[in-house]
Amino acid sequence: MDMFFMEGPDPVLTRSDLIRDPSLSSYEKAGGYRGLRRALSGLSPSDVIEEVKSSGLRGRGGSGFPTALKWEKVANHRVPVRYVVANGSEGEPGSHKDHFLISRSPHQILEGMILASYAVGASQAYLFVKESFPEGVSLLQNARREALSAGLLGNNILGTGFSLDIVIFIGPAAYIAGEETALLEALEGRPPRPRPKPPFYPTEMGLFRKPTVVNNVETYAHVARILADGPSRFRERGTQKSPGTMIFSVSGSVVRPVLVELPLGFPLRRLLEDYAGGPLPGENFQCFFTGGPSFGILTAKEIDTPLEYDALRAKGTGLGSAGIIVLGSGDCPVATSREFALFYEKGSCGQCPPCRLGTESLHGLLEEVEAGKGSLQTLDRIRRVAEMIKGRGNCGLITASAYMVQSLLQHFPALLEAHLGKGVRPEGERIPCWHYDRFVG
């Protein structure tokens, strides 16, 4: 899907001078690598971590875990060999921000990775990008070459004695490869299959069984800006518990699918009306997947919810990678959920039987309902399967698939029952059943 980029009210990562040109010269003219020069010339590794902690930066790739806490675990680990990994896989439906950053400002990501490596004592880092994104691979490889030539990467960086190399790793396009431990498996040359946790938490037993920091590429880009401008500047935007900005992707039934960087806490209504242009002509908003399908549904009556981690969690959903999928009154949440269930079924690596069988079962049951062949017993089976499989695999895919259908059951019980054997709404109107690729491509 083609996304339209709009500049937000006070951008940090997407300032026009930072994304005008992906070259090193353009990035340095915009103040690029200023944070790295400042850190290597006057800050200790623990000072860098303290600045990230003071900023309140939370990971921009899913759960919103405090970035500095992850770094501290690795920096203080008894094992001296550590690694830093950037997750640039971006496989969640509706999310487009990571590919945008890679395309427009690759050096911003590399600078953040170098700072993270300095902070935790790593001399080797890896940036994972999927083979299905060849343009991004090329831009990152070129940025790495430029950084090496300029002495910003490699041996004795800026004459400080600190050395680091970053490998641009071209990984498989599978959805599951974006799960952090599956990504590590791929980096080690194996199929991308999630590891059991415990014991394989990346900060304890990560890449090559060494303590490893794994962060999303947007997280690293924020680190570059925090070290350049200071943590207090970062905290001027966002909320107390969710400071800073985030790049939001809006797709689905809106006038203008859009990418825009906004302060966390920005109202969903304003994002959809001011930047995405509102609902499609003749339609109203029906519901939203605020963090992609993995975080469940937010109904239209909750459109004024602020876009930040805790407020969305209180509503039973989440922010995830900020890929917001909008369903209008012309869309069918049942059909959409069926297609997402198929996405999870295909995305499962199959190593955990509850996931392999559970995702297949949920998709089949929703297919039955959508075809008008279901019954109340079918809905009860969906409830029981979803409850049974939650938390039963090595990764969050199985729980995400279960939570998605539970959210559907919670918010649209009448619509589900209207599908049973009839395929009409209670008032007699035929239910329009669109596939999810109408809006996520």
> What is the domain partition of the chain in residue ranges?
4-235, 245-328, 333-440
Residue 414 pLDDT greater than 70, yes or no: yes
Task: Take residue 285 and report the two structure tokens written for it.
Answer: 């908003």
Query: Would you place residue 418 in the very low, low, confident or very high pLDDT band (cuts 50, 70, 90)?
Result: confident
Q: What is the CA radius of gyration of the chain?
A: 22
pLDDT of residue 441: 38
Other beta carbons within 10 angstroms of residue 112's beta carbon come to 27
pLDDT of residue 436: 40
Please answer whether residues 292 and 94 qualify as being in contact, where contact means their C-beta atoms are separated by less than 8 angstroms: yes
Task: Kindly state the average pLDDT of the residues 6-27.
Answer: 96
Task: Kindly state the average pLDDT of the residues 66-91.
Answer: 97
pLDDT of residue 427: 45
Non-local (6+) Cβ contacts of 362 within 8 A are 341, 344, 345, 382, 385, 386, 401, 402, 405
pLDDT of residue 438: 41
C-alpha dist (Å) from residue 42 to 31, 71, 278: 18, 19, 48
Please answer whether residues 358 and 388 qualify as being in contact, where contact means their C-beta atoms are separated by less than 8 angstroms: yes
pLDDT of residue 215: 97
Q: In this structure, which topology does domain 333-440 adopt according to CATH?
A: de novo design (two linked rop proteins) (1.20.1440)
For 118-172, how does the pLDDT look when each residue is reduced to its tens digit (9 = 90+)? Answer: 999 999 999 999 999 999 999 999 999 999 999 999 999 999 999 999 999 999 9
Query: Would you place residue 421 in the very low, low, confident or very high pLDDT band (cuts 50, 70, 90)?
Result: low
Is CATH 3.10.20.600 the classification given to domain 245-328?
Answer: yes
pLDDT of residue 363: 96
Task: Take residue 227 and report the two structure tokens written for it.
Answer: 């070290």
Q: How high does pLDDT run on average in the chain? A: 93
Query: Would you place residue 429 in the very low, low, confident or very high pLDDT band (cuts 50, 70, 90)?
Result: very low
> Among residues of the chain, what percentage have pLDDT more than 70?
95
Residue 370 pLDDT greater than 90, yes or no: no
Residue type, 418: A
- Distance of alpha carbon 67 from alpha carbon 53, whole angstroms: 7
In degrees rounded to 5, what are phi and psi of residue 93? -55, 135
Please answer whether residues 291 and 255 qualify as being in contact, where contact means their C-beta atoms are separated by less than 8 angstroms: no
Is CATH 3.40.50.11540 the classification given to domain 4-235?
Answer: yes
Residue 204 pLDDT greater than 80, yes or no: yes
pLDDT of residue 295: 85
Query: Would you place residue 433 in the very low, low, confident or very high pLDDT band (cuts 50, 70, 90)?
Result: very low
- Distance of alpha carbon 148 from alpha carbon 412, whole angstroms: 55
Task: Kindly state the average pLDDT of the residues 192-203.
Answer: 96
Task: Kindly state the average pLDDT of the residues 262-283.
Answer: 97
Residue type, 377: Q
pLDDT of residue 425: 45
Please answer whether residues 58 and 65 qualify as being in contact, where contact means their C-beta atoms are separated by less than 8 angstroms: yes
pTM over 0.85: yes
- Distance of alpha carbon 160 from alpha carbon 154, whole angstroms: 11
